[in-house]
């Protein structure tokens, strides 16, 4: 994941409003502590997208518009 911007902790503290607005507009913003990646600030929309439960394979097939359709084979008899 390539970050739009990397912030040192002290800069992030001093410019928190800017950091938040950039996360909302431009995507994830990384904060480093002593030069090492520590945390990433993301918008609520991005967070919800990341934690949204994934559909299981069973749920995928159950919700298919082909449920109940007859199947057929293209193999030669």
Dihedral sign computed on CA atoms, order 17, 22, 28, 33: negative
Q: Is the pLDDT of residue 77 over 70?
A: no
CA atoms within 13 A on the CB side of 65: 0
Q: Is the pLDDT of residue 71 over 60?
A: yes
Q: Is the pLDDT of residue 3 over 60?
A: no
Confidence (pLDDT) at 4: 58
The backbone torsions φ and ψ at residue 25, rounded to the nearest 5 degrees and listed phi first, read -90, -45
When pLDDT is cut at 50, 70 and 90, the band that residue 72 belongs to is low
**Pairing relationship of beta strands 5-8 and 36-41 according to DSSP bridges:** unpaired
Domains of the chain are 5-62 (3.40.1620.10)
> Locate tokens 């439960």: which residue?
53
- Count Cβ atoms below 10 Å from residue 29 Cβ, excluding itself: 23
- Residue range 17-55, pLDDT digits in tens: 999 999 999 999 999 999 999 999 999 999 999 998 787
């Amino acid at each position: 994941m390539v970050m739009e911007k990397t912030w040192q902790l002290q800069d992030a503290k001093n410019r928190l409003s800017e950091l938040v607005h950039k996360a909302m507009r431009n995507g994830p913003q990384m904060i480093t502590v002593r030069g090492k990646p520590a945390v990433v600030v993301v918008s609520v929309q991005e967070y919800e997208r990341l934690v949204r439960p994934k559909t299981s394979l069973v749920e995928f097939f159950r919700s298919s518009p082909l449920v109940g359709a007859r199947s057929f084979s293209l193999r030669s008899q």
